[in-house]
Amino acid sequence: MKRPEKKSPGNGTEQLASAVYAELRRIAAAQMSRMPLGCTLQPTALVHEAWMRLRKSDASTWHDQSHFFSAAAESMRHILIDRARRRSAMRHGGQFQHVTIAENDLPLRLDNDEHLLALDSAIERLTLEHPEAAELTKLHCFAGIDISEAARVLGLTRATAYRRWLFARSWLYKELMS
Amino acid sequence: MTEPAGRDEILFSTVIALPSAERELYLDRACSDSDTRARVQVLLDASERCEDLILDDASEHPLDAAQAQVENYRILEDLGEGGWGTVYCAEQMSPLRREVALKIIKLGMDTKAVIIRFEAERQALAVMDHPNIAKVFDAGATDAGRPYFAMELVRGVKVTQYCDSIRATIAERVALFVQVCQAIQHAHRKGIIHRDIKPSNVMVTLCDGEAVVKVIDFGVAKAIQSGPPENTMLTVFGAFVGTPAYVSPEQMDYGARIDARSDIYSLGVLLHELLCGGTPFAPGDLSPSALHSLRSRIRSEEARLPSKFLRTLSVAAAHKVADCCRTTRSRLIGQLQGDLDWIVMRCLEKDPVKRYQSARDLSADLQRYLRDEPVVARPRRLLYSFNKFAKRHRIVFATGAAVIAALLTTSVLTSWLAVRATRASLLAQSVATFLEKDVLVQSAAGVPLRTLLDRGAEKVGARFANEPLVEAAIRSSLGTIYDSIDADREAQSQFEQALAIYDKEYGARDVRTLAAMAKVATSLVKQQRYSEAERVTLRALEHSEKVLGAKDVEASLTLSTALSLVLFEQGRIEESRILLNNDLISSQLAIFGPDHPLTLRSKLGLASMNLLQGNLGRAEALAKEVLDTRARIFGQKHSATQEAARTLREIYERAGKCSVAQDLGNAYQLQDDNQVVATATLVPQVPTLYEPYPDLWDCYF
pLDDT, tens digit, for every residue of A25-73? 777 777 666 655 555 667 777 777 777 766 666 555 555 667 778 888 8
Cα four-point dihedral sign B380, B381, B383, B387 = positive
- Point out which residues pair with B212 in neighbouring strands: B205
Secondary structure (3-state) at B627: helix
Give the whole-angstrom CA distance, residue B179 versus residue B565: 36
Comparing C-alpha atoms, which of B48, B307, B392, B599 is closest to residue A169?
Answer: B48
Please name which of B200, B76, B15 lies closest in space to residue A163, comparing C-alpha atoms. B15
Q: Please choose, from the candidates A166, A141, A138, A136, the residue with its C-alpha nearest in 3D space to the C-alpha of residue A152.
A: A136
How does pLDDT run across B472-511, given as a tens digit for each residue? 888 887 887 787 777 888 889 999 999 999 888 888 777 7
CB-side neighbour CA atoms (13 Å) of B236: 19
Q: How confident is the model at residue B366 (pLDDT cuts 50, 70, 90)?
A: very high
- The pLDDT of residue B673 is 41
β-strands A40-41, A100-101: how paired? parallel
Test mutation, B48, B57, B59, chain A, max A CBs within 10 A: B57
Q: Which of A107, A158, A170 sits opposite B55 (nearest CB)?
A: A107
Read off the pLDDT of residues B154-171 as tens digits, 9 standing for 90 and up.
888 899 999 998 899 999
- Minimum Cα–Cα distance from A104: chain B residue: B57
pLDDT of residue A24: 77
Give contacts of B8 with chain A, Cβ < 8 Å.
129-130, 167, 171
Report whether B403 contacts B565 (CB < 8 A). Answer: yes
Q: Which range among B48-52, B234-238, B390-394, B466-470 has the greatest average pLDDT?
A: B466-470
Kindly state the helix (H) or strand (E) to which residue B77 belongs, with its residue range: strand B73-81
Contact B261, B361 (CB under 8 A): no
Contact at 8 Å (CB) between B515 and B416? yes
Interface probe for A, chosen from B11, B41, B53 (most Cβ of A below 10 Å), is B53
What pLDDT sits at residue B435? 66
Q: Does B583 touch chain A (CB under 8 A)?
A: no
**A127 min Cα distance to partner chain B (Å):** 11
pLDDT of residue B78 exceeding 50, the answer is yes
pLDDT > 70 in chain B, percent: 72
Amino acid found at B167: R
> Quick one: DSSP state of residue B133?
B
For residue B313, what is the nearest residue in chain A, using CA coordinates?
Answer: A4
User: Contact at 8 Å (CB) between B3 and B39?
Assistant: no
Q: Which residue has the higher pLDDT, A168 or B337?
A: A168
* A contacts of B285 (beta carbons < 8 Å): 4, 155
B35 part of the active site: no
B47 interface with A at CB cutoff 8 Å = yes
Q: Taking Cα atoms as reference points, which of B46, B74, B80, B84 lies closest to residue B60?
A: B80
Round the CA-based radius of gyration of chain A to a whole number and report it. 17
Beta carbons within 10 angstroms of residue B605's beta carbon: 26
Chain B interface mutation, best of A66, A174, A177, A178, highest count of B Cβ atoms under 10 Å:
A174
| Distance from C-alpha of B564 to C-alpha of B395, rounded to nearest angstrom | 18
Please state whether beta strands B85-92 and B73-81 pair in parallel, antiparallel, or not at all (unpaired).
antiparallel
Please give the residue that has the higher pLDDT: either B631 or A35.
B631
**Greater pLDDT, A83 or B342:** B342
Assess whether pLDDT exceeds 50 at residue B660. yes
Question: Cα–Cα distance between B32 and B5 in angstroms, integer?
Answer: 13
The band of B347, judged by pLDDT with boundaries at 50, 70 and 90, is: very high
| Range with the poorest average pLDDT among B337-351, B520-534, B579-593 | B579-593
Neighbours of B35 (CB within 10 A): 13
Output phi, psi for B213, to 5 deg: -80, 140
Among the partner residues A5, A146, A171, nearest to B43 by beta-carbon distance: A171
Q: CA-to-CA distance for A128 and A135, rounded, in angstroms?
A: 11
Q: Do B54 and A169 touch (CB under 8 A)?
A: yes
Per-residue pLDDT averaged across B360-387, rounded?
A: 67
pLDDT, one tens digit per residue, over A88-129 is 776 655 555 555 666 666 777 667 778 888 889 999 999 998
- Per CB-CB distance under 8 Å, the chain A contacts of B321 are 1
Report pLDDT for B261: 92
Q: Tell me the CA end-to-end span of chain A in Å, nearest whole number.
A: 30
CA dist., res. B694 & res. B678, Å (int): 17
Query: Are the beta carbons of B134 and B215 closer than 8 angstroms?
Result: yes
Classify each residue of A12-46 as buried b or exposed e, where b means 16 or more C-beta atoms within 10 Å of its C-beta. Answer: eeeebbebbbebbeebbeebeeeeeeeeebbbbeb
Are the beta carbons of B142 and B68 closer than 8 angstroms?
yes
State phi, psi for B325 to the nearest 5 degrees: -100, 15
Mean pLDDT of B36-40: 87
**B352 has a chain A CB within 8 A of its CB:** no
Strand-by-strand arrangement of the B202-207 sheet: B157-158, B202-207, B210-215
CB pairs under 8 A between A and B: 100
Contact yes or no for B55/A141 (Cβ under 8 A): no
B244 to chain A, any CB pair closer than 8 A? The answer is: no
By C-alpha distance, the chain A residue nearest B88 is: A159
